[in-house]
Structure 1
């Protein structure tokens, strides 16, 4: 399973982040993405503040000690993601400048105009992330969402927005927006993530699938939104960054070991430069005579090596 939204804060210590990753692995998530919020306009100097693994040398001893115990989980594969807040479509001319610095980009439109642009015209950003705990300033219409799904975009549902909601109004907004999104997309093109900033907000994958099934999302669609759906996004983004115009890089095959090359060479020759039949490559056998398969040049335009009496072919 995949979780493409683990909320990251600059105030989080490496130990807290390590505990979050370890708990997500224990719940069954094999690949997670640390999420960083970026505001527009995009600054000229782009820097990825997300930490690299291993997190720090101060936690290395703790990690080693924990790995010695049988119950110590392994950390999942960690990707870097940037979620871009977009209010005006005219600010999207430098969005792709973030691509070399992150594994994944997501767009969070905050106005109806930017939402329509994200669904219909903005390219190379595969994920649309909405704050479903707030009252959206636009309607989730089937026509607009269907265009985005047809273009290969995915809509994200982060269930931590419900678990960390400050009041009942925010929880009601989340439930209503999720039902509207499921109805507008017909359950297609969805990605379910956590958006959690603390381990207490994480849930097991099947618990999330059962929760969303109450609000209209079928169980098979929920499993797809936590497995094949996010996996397709990661694979496509990896191809974009490792290839050119959709062409995948070709990795050169490793050469055969010297022992295998020597054995194949000896199988084709007798070890002295001769062929398998004992003949040398010059066209003569050991007795100095021409081999039978050597053709003589045609003498009269007829078949090679065949001469007719009188120089003419009998009628």
Structure 2
């Protein structure tokens, strides 16, 4: 299963263009897509999700459509409502623009699951391995949008390639999520073409496959657990139930599965028979282990009674024919 977690969305875009992009991504094999709403200004007083659910157009079958928000931050001390923003969307990503915000997103902030940098710009700081690997160990992934390498001028492409190479070198190809970020159908590429591009930029094919499937799936699953589970650890699911015929389809009700019916005579409520009513016996039945021990003991007693007592060896009587020991001569 392939993922594309960055399909840009805007209220001014035409629904027909969005439908074309989603349909083309589905034809290329991307099963899970995320409509991305980017917030560049400060958070409003009342946080709402402007992305309609369901969308106003028809989406292909077996295509999962998520809603995502990307928040641009420059000062991490001014964003105190990130948990409230994360609760409204399915996925929350941060786009730091300064070194202070980047280090805070890697080390301290915990409401997001993605760090999506604008790699077409020149950064005044370097991507060091320690903060990036710390963020990856915390479950945060770094996003690379390959459409930025096709848009813009020569300087933007040069900055994008240099930043991607630096991130791949600092992370050793781990913890990356590759998305399209395409504004139209022209910026979308097939998975094989994306892997070739990543291999040119220094990312191995195995890591490239992880960035298209395993890593984004982990982001989606973790974000779902944060919103549906108990403290992001324990998820409660329904189990041990079956749909009753005639009721499940009409009313949508479920009935818990019961054990086998206990209609036999001489049975208790827990399905066990009484000890004095089993096979008409008055004494309780012994276990197989006790019966085996009793049988073994009886065999040992039987062998002991049938076997003769061992004879004690006796010394033969002393006769005259047997030579006697020579007596020692007396000392003179």
**CA shift in 2, pair 1:35/1:255, >3 Å:** same
Contact 2:241 2:257 (8 Å CA) reproduced = no
Contact 1:83 1:106 (8 Å CA) reproduced = yes
**CA shift in 2, pair 1:42/1:255, >3 Å:** same
Q: Deviations over 1:163-212 (max 9, x none)?
A: 222x1111111111111111111111111000111011111112111111
Residue 255 of structure 1 and its aligned partner are, at CA, apart by 4.3
Secondary structure of 1:98's aligned partner: helix
Matched, 1:5 2:22: no
Give the TM-score taking structure 2 as reference length.
0.74
Determine which of 104, 115, 118 is the counterpart of 2:102: 115
Residue 12 of structure 1 and its aligned partner are, at CA, apart by 1.6
Residue number in structure 2 paired with 1:269: 263
Secondary structure of 2:42's aligned partner: coil
Residue 264 of structure 1 and its aligned partner are, at CA, apart by 3.1
Residue number in structure 2 paired with 1:208: 194
Residue number in structure 2 paired with 1:254: 241
Residue 51 of structure 1 and its aligned partner are, at CA, apart by 2.3
Residue 258 of structure 1 and its aligned partner are, at CA, apart by 7.8
Return the alpha-carbon distance in structure 1 between the equivalents of residues 228 and 257 of structure 2. 32
Contact 1:158 1:193 (8 Å CA) reproduced = yes
Residue number in structure 2 paired with 1:48: 49
Large movers: runs of 4+ above 4 Å: 255-263, 273-276, 281-285
Return the alpha-carbon distance in structure 1 between the equivalents of residues 41 and 160 of structure 2. 25
Please say which structure displays the higher CA radius of gyration.
Answer: 2
Secondary structure of 1:93's aligned partner: coil
Give the TM-score taking structure 1 as reference length.
0.78
Higher relative contact order (CA 8 A, sep 6+): 1
RMSD of aligned residue pairs (Cα, Å) = 2.9
How many residues get paired? 271
Secondary structure of 1:264's aligned partner: coil
Determine which of 199, 208, 232 is the counterpart of 1:222: 208
Return the alpha-carbon distance in structure 2 between the equivalents of residues 75 and 201 of structure 1. 23
Contact 2:48 2:88 (8 Å CA) reproduced = yes
Residue number in structure 1 paired with 2:38: 37
5+ unaligned residues in a row in structure 2: which ranges? Answer: 247-255, 286-332
Residue 41 of structure 1 and its aligned partner are, at CA, apart by 3.0
Residue 98 of structure 1 and its aligned partner are, at CA, apart by 0.9
